[in-house]
Amino acid sequence: MASKLIYALFLFYMGCLSYSFTGSLPSHISSVAVPLFEDNTAYPGVREDLTNSVIDEFISDNTLKVTSESKADLVITGVITSITQKAAILSAGETVDEFQIYVSVKVKCEDVRENKVLWDKNLSEFGVMPGTGSQDERDQAIQIALEKLTNDILNNTLGYW
């Protein structure tokens, strides 16, 4: 009985070792470029923050090498379309106790070697701030939304195949 359990665990462990996103990518794709996102909101620093966050996430993931646009197999471009605030929790007196700050982007991932768009999506994520939140708390909520968007962009890119 114990030997069967050990054997089963060994097989499970070996299966986990071989799993990789790299194996699912087409062989001609090994690099990605992320030019500076456009920003239709004019919110200070948000386009740089999102662009840098996406680049850092690809570097950290290490499935694709981050490079210049002229050398990349994939190019990810985006436009920050809006930053909006919505009441999330109201108290009995119709006072807003919590806001959700939504950041919406239109993102496109293009295989430049084969000249085809792999995915093109409108993405939206939010962060939360108190109803009486300060500008710093609003900025923190935006940063949380940007982190979520960064994960969405990476997952959409690596999960396409």
Domains in the chain, please, with CATH? 27-158 (3.40.50.10610)
| pLDDT tens by residue, 8-38 | 444 444 444 434 444 467 889 999 999 999 9
- pTM given for the model: 0.81
| pLDDT tens by residue, 94-136 | 777 888 999 999 999 999 999 999 999 999 999 999 888 899 9
The number of angstroms, rounded, from the C-alpha of 147 to the middle of its chain's C-alpha atoms is 7
